[in-house]
């Protein structure tokens, strides 16, 4: 069992017109999946002092995630409005980061993060400050660059692993792998949609296809892939095993609604 922390975003996905809502967010989904794999998993982030915030904390704890360092802040919990087209396609119509915006770990939080075996960073609007602080302290850190859209938050220098998503365009995936390593990540891992995922350190690379499954919902599959890859990688597994671990967990997530099973 390893000690992991996931830091950053949480979100309530609100589906219209059904009214169904699900807890998610890159950092939350990664934290839950690592806990479900049997690791000691901590979530560091901020939720609002509202029903959604209390629901989020309770649901994380139910799944074995350590929530002592979740900040309960005045304001509303982050949410996303999602419309479902007749084709079944999801359209994200509005995103509100709520109290996630401006979230920063406290000095006490930072000291705890520095004691982890690995820290994964999701969406944060801190211009890379947490990544830089942890990397300077020798912490093993990963980040998913695909959940950030602001250029000032996209640095990868010092990361042990930079995760990204390029879709099924082979040229785009290869270019992303090269760019992430060239920009300072020790390892780049890029998901390629139905074509699987690839990993590279700039000198060698490996690719694995997807695991066939009847898809119910793809929400959180990429986050589950990250958790599976991290679990295997931090356990000293080879790249092929890491990719297989990631795709297996992603496939399981596609078999249910939401990034993880919820009441």
pLDDT at 220: 86
pLDDT at 96: 95
Instruction: Tell whether the torsion through CA atoms of 92, 250, 141 and 177 is positive or negative.
Output: negative
pLDDT along the chain (263 residues), means of 10: 97 89 96 98 98 97 98 97 76 92 97 98 96 97 89 90 94 96 97 93 93 81 96 97 96 88 85
Q: Rounded CA gap, 184 and 134, in Å? A: 15
Domain spans, the chain:
3-253
pLDDT at 88: 61
pLDDT at 9: 96
What DSSP state is assigned to residue 211? Answer: P
Cis peptide before 17 (omega within 30 of 0): yes
Other CB atoms within a 10 A radius of the CB of residue 258 amount to 18
pLDDT at 217: 79
Global pTM reads: 0.95
Q: Contact 47/57 with Cβ under 8 angstroms? A: yes
Assigned CATH for 3-253 = 3.40.1190.20
b/e 175-193 (16+ beta carbons within 10 angstroms → b): ebbebbbeeebebbbbbbe
| 3-state helix, strand and coil shares in percent for the chain, rounded to the nearest 5 | 35, 25, 40
φ, ψ dihedrals at 26, nearest 5° = -55, -55
Q: Contact 186/201 with Cβ under 8 angstroms? A: yes
């Amino acid at each position: 069992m390893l000690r992991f922390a996931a830091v950053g975003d949480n979100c309530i996905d609100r589906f219209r017109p059904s009214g169904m809502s699900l807890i998610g967010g890159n950092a939350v989904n990664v934290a839950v999946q690592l806990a479900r794999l049997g690791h000691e998993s901590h979530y560091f982030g901020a939720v609002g002092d509202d029903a959604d915030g209390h629901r989020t904390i309770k649901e994380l704890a139910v799944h074995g995630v350590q929530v002592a360092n979740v900040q309960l802040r005045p304001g509303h919990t982050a949410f996303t409005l999602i419309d479902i087209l007749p084709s079944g396609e999801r359209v994200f119509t509005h995103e509100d980061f709520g109290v996630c915006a401006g979230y920063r770990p406290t000095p006490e939080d930072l000291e705890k993060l520095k004691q982890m075996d690995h820290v994964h960073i999701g969406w944060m609007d801190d211009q890379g400050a947490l990544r830089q602080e942890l990397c300077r302290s020798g912490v093993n850190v990963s980040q998913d660059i695909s959940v950030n859209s602001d250029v000032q938050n996209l640095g990868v220098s010092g990361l042990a692993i930079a995760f990204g998503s390029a879709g099924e365009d082979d040229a785009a995936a290869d270019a992303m792998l090269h760019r992430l390593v060239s920009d300072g990540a020790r390892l780049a891992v890029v998901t390629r949609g139905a074509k699987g995922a690839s990993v590279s350190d700039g000198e060698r690379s490996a690719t694995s296809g997807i695991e066939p499954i009847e898809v119910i919902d793809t929400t959180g599959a990429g986050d589950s892939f990250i958790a599976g890859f991290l679990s295997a990688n931090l356990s000293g597994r080879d790249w092929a095993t890491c990719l297989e671990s990631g795709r297996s967990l992603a496939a399981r997530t596609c078999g249910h609604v939401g990034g993880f099973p919820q009441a």
